[in-house]
Amino acid sequence: MNPKYRKTVIAGNWKMNLLPSDVPAYAARLLELLGGEQPCEIAICAPSVLLPAAVTAFLGSPVSVGAQDVSAQESGAFTGEISAAQLKDAGAVCTIVGHSERRAMHGETDALIAQKLRRALAAGLRPILCVGETLQQREIGAETDTIRLQLKGALSGLEPAALRRVILAYEPVWAIGTGRTATPEQASDMCGAIRTEIRKMFGSPAARAISVLYGGSMNAGNAAELLSCPDVDGGLIGGASLKPDSFYQIVKAVQQ
């Protein structure tokens, strides 16, 4: 973390877990644990159908609510899709785009992700853009090339003012939901490589200001060490965000 230059963000990604009826108790417990403190920006990216419950439960609290995906289309005949304007109007402040599960299971390309990111920005949502290599790509030493292409594909041509609203997340695919976390060195190297790429594309001030989160089996036990890396500005947390107590432990690790 480098709070002098950029915001620390701890974001939960509930994925396809929890029910609308689970949200009030989750929120009450998390807010009780936080006790009104906000050591960093805190967000919960909930399934769309849980957004109304989450927005209500976290209203006026230090926890903001986000989505996990957004349509690349503005509106119209796109059955099952949810637009950026709809998410925004429902109370979301941010949305994940380009998560590896969507890239792998829904065939999302960098071009589609670029469109989604722009739709989010146009509607006033902060995109959390995920990039990261597969195990196979790491084994052949292609991890930096992979993230470079993903960043270029999604961000090329973006106005600097728009980039300031983007949050990046380095999520090595081999570490997601596997219990196998990147070492602090690996996380630090790759978040640093992402910042270098942003510097090449948008210049030093933009690179210095953008928050780069780490995601992939982050938990209460490893968060403090990962977050102590200068280029790691927070976490995107799946499994460990499903229980308010374990999510809070990660938020608490920001202060250590």
Distance of closest approach, residue 87 Cβ to ligand PGA, in angstroms: 18
* Closest to ligand PGA by CB, 14 or 58: 14
Q: Which of 66, 98, 234, 238 binds ligand PGA (CB under 6 A)?
A: 238
Q: Using an 8 Å Cβ cutoff, are 110 and 154 in contact?
A: yes
Q: Which of 163, 218, 226, 232 binds ligand PGA (CB under 6 A)?
A: 218
Residue 171 designated active-site: yes
Catalytic residue (choose from 41, 108, 171, 197): 171
Asked if 236 touches ligand PGA (CB under 6 A), the answer is yes
Asked if 137 touches ligand PGA (CB under 6 A), the answer is no
The alpha carbon torsion through 186, 68, 1, 239 (nearest 10 deg) reads: -60
* Closest to ligand PGA by CB, 17 or 196: 17
Which residues inside 159-178 make contact with ligand PGA, applying CB under 6 A? Answer: 171, 176-177
Catalytic residue (choose from 41, 99, 143, 197): 99
CA-based nearest residue to 117, from 108, 125, 127, 107: 127
Residue 106 designated active-site: no
Which residues inside 176-195 make contact with ligand PGA, applying CB under 6 A? Answer: 176-177
Distance of closest approach, residue 253 Cβ to ligand PGA, in angstroms: 14
Size of the site for ligand PGA (CB under 6 A): 13
Q: Which of 127, 216, 234, 244 binds ligand PGA (CB under 6 A)?
A: 216
Asked if 239 touches ligand PGA (CB under 6 A), the answer is yes
Query: What interhelical angle do 143-155 and 110-122 show, nearest 10?
Result: 50
Binding site for ligand PGA (CB under 6 A): 13, 171, 176-177, 215-218, 236-240
List active site positions.
99, 171
